[in-house]
Amino acid sequence: MSLKILDTCVNCDVCEPACPNKAISLGEEFYVIDPDLCTECIGHHDEPQCVVVCPVECIITDPENVESHEQLDLKYQHLMAKESVA
């Protein structure tokens, strides 16, 4: 399942560079996560790095983007394949 940033985000900027998939960017009002790029850090780290670094605990699992470990792993494989072509 990809993660989601709540509107309690204080735009502190620390999660954006922590994301190994470049899935986090500044949205209109606060930071947002692209569900097509978020693998919950599977393939890179044991736990979601954005959640680890966020000082206000405003990053949750997105109930609208439920994915299994296998689906997330597949997404990771696709992202890596794209990166090696680019």
d(CA 44, CA 38): 11
Q: Which residues between 15 and 54 bind ligand SF4 (CB under 6 A)? A: 15, 18-19, 21, 23-24, 31, 33, 38-41, 48-50, 53-54
Give the one residue of 58, 67, 72, 79 binding ligand SF4; rule: CB under 6 A.
58
How crowded is residue 15: how many other Cβ atoms within 10 Å of its Cβ? Answer: 24
The torsion region of residue 40 among left (phi > 0), alpha (psi -120 to 50) and beta comes to: left
Residue 72 interacting with ligand SF4 (CB under 6 A): no
Question: What whole-number distance in Å separates Cα of residue 46 and Cα of residue 7?
Answer: 26
Chain positions contacting ligand SF4, by CB under 6 A: 3, 5, 9-15, 18-19, 21, 23-24, 31, 33, 38-41, 48-50, 53-54, 56, 58-59
